[in-house]
Amino acid sequence: MNSIELNIHGMHCAGCVSTVEKSLAKVTGVDTAVVNLSLEKAVVTGSMDKKQLIEAVKSSGYTATQFIQEDLNRDINLEKLAEAKKRMVLGWLVTIPIMAWMLVEMITGLVYPSPEVYHTMMLLLSAVAVFFAGGDTIRNGWKSIVYFSPNMDVLIMIGCLAAWSTGWLRLWIEIHPFTGIASMIMAFHLTGRYFESKARGNASSAIKKLMNLSAKEATVIDGSGVESVVDIRNLSIGDVVVVRAGETISADGEVLDGIADVDESLVTGESVPVPKNEGDSVVGGTVCLNSTIKIKVGKTGKDTFLSQVVRLIENTQATKVPIQLFADRVVSIFVPIILAVSGLTFLSWYFSTEFMFKISTSVSSILPFFPFNSTPIAQALYASIAVLVIACPCALGLATPTALMAGTGLGAQNGVLIRDGAAIQRMNEANTVFFDKTGTITTGNPEVVGAHVAKTMTKEELIRLTASLEKESSH
């Protein structure tokens, strides 16, 4: 049994995650398939072919590529955040004038400068927000329908298109157009997407900070004693590297020549420098504090200690805690249910005109913007669109993995590595916490600040016993 890691492109919500996981699970030989939305990564275990996995992801409407550890050095989250911000700003640039124009109509009852100009401009401005700023959402929603895997984008897509289409429908049927609502829906949706991207970027920044602890370049010395500076990605096992005082050790290896103190707090948590002599092992990412040493490279790339730590954090973030498994089950059936509820809402408002009129008149004072005086089809569309938009459960699927990423990432920055994400959820049941030794979570220089003596012992006796223990201890 082997493990294959893939980068998954095109996912936007928990529904996308569920679709990709189901597609991967159907591949012959797959035992487990776990997809992480925040990392855009899939970890698949079993006896299967990588090409089959990539094809399975493609058949579900997404794209998969080989996972490359070095990609972590690229700030992909910043690129996506910039794109999300650009779309959000464009959406609001056209939505704010639309809202102002609609507000004038609601307050005064006048359509300025004329009905034809007003409705034409509403169609054009809303089209910019829906099809340009929100183009990704529309495409992803349509794609998920084509592949029979409806996700959250479907709800937004249908809601926006239904609202926008009323601007055209008014030309053939008697209907109150609310074209501008489509722009408002998309603008708020894009704002949510922007903050989701920002939250994911903040949560995953801990991994990037860990990767930045490693040296970017190394000074390699050849057999004739000539030094050259190379990218650490070009290091090979057996290369001899020179590390001077204050420099970060570029790779895991063994000291060939020299004596130096090394700050290994990254590895052990101990704040006290560790002396290194010829033959001692060193870890990439630790710091040579004094003198110059020569190191023979023993591990490179994904086999180094720091890369293994990053891998551990990623695997922890990719695990699904019990509450997330529950959320995923809910999300997997949520979209079809909401589509059905929205359809029933439309039919109820359209065919039960008298009953709905009684309800609408009783709440008209608290819902001044609802088109109670419009035609039944307009009221039915308005109500069904409201169901689609307000029910979008993106937060349900994003909250748990984002919180898990933030927690494990913050822990890693502070030297706490969590092997199993489920342990975080069980943490609230803990009533006792044990720490191993001085230096792991302290400065390594303890001092007595007080003594609390039991009734069966005097303070002097306690000090005498403590001193006798300390006398024979080297720690």
Catalytic residues, by residue number, are: 436
What's the rounded Cα separation, in Å, for the pair 289 and 245? 5
Tell me the torsion sign for CA atoms 37, 43, 49, 51. Answer: positive
CA 213, distance to chain mean position in Å, is: 22
Which amino acid does the sequence have at 359? I
In terms of C-beta density within 10 A (0-12 exposed, 13-18 middle, 19 or more buried), how is residue 392 classed? buried
Cβ neighbours of residue 66 under 8 Å, at least 6 residues apart? 6, 7, 50
**CA-CA distance, 198 to 135, in Å (whole number)?**
20
Token pair of 302, please?
A: 């994904």
Three-state SS for 370? coil
- Residue type (1 letter), 456: T
Cα–Cα distances in angstroms (integers) from residue 404 to residues 9, 66, 209, 242, 274, in the given order:
21, 24, 17, 39, 34
Taking the C-alpha atoms of residue 273 and residue 280, their distance in angstroms, rounded to an integer, is 14
3-state class of 241 per DSSP? Answer: strand
CB atoms within 10 A of CB 107: 8
Widest distance between CA atoms in the chain = 99
Integer Cα distance of 323 and 399 in angstroms: 11
- Cβ neighbors of 216 (< 8 A, separation 6 or more) are 231, 232
DSSP per-residue string spanning 404-453:
HHHHHHHHHHTT---S-THHHHHGGG--------TTTSS-S---------
- 3-state SS of 128-152 is HHHHHHCHHHHHHHHHHHHCCCCCH
Residue 340 backbone zone (phi > 0: left; psi -120 to 50: alpha; other: beta): alpha
Q: Are 186 and 133 in contact (CB under 8 A)?
A: yes
User: At 286, which amino acid appears?
Assistant: T
Phi and psi at residue 232, in whole multiples of 5°?
A: -65, -20
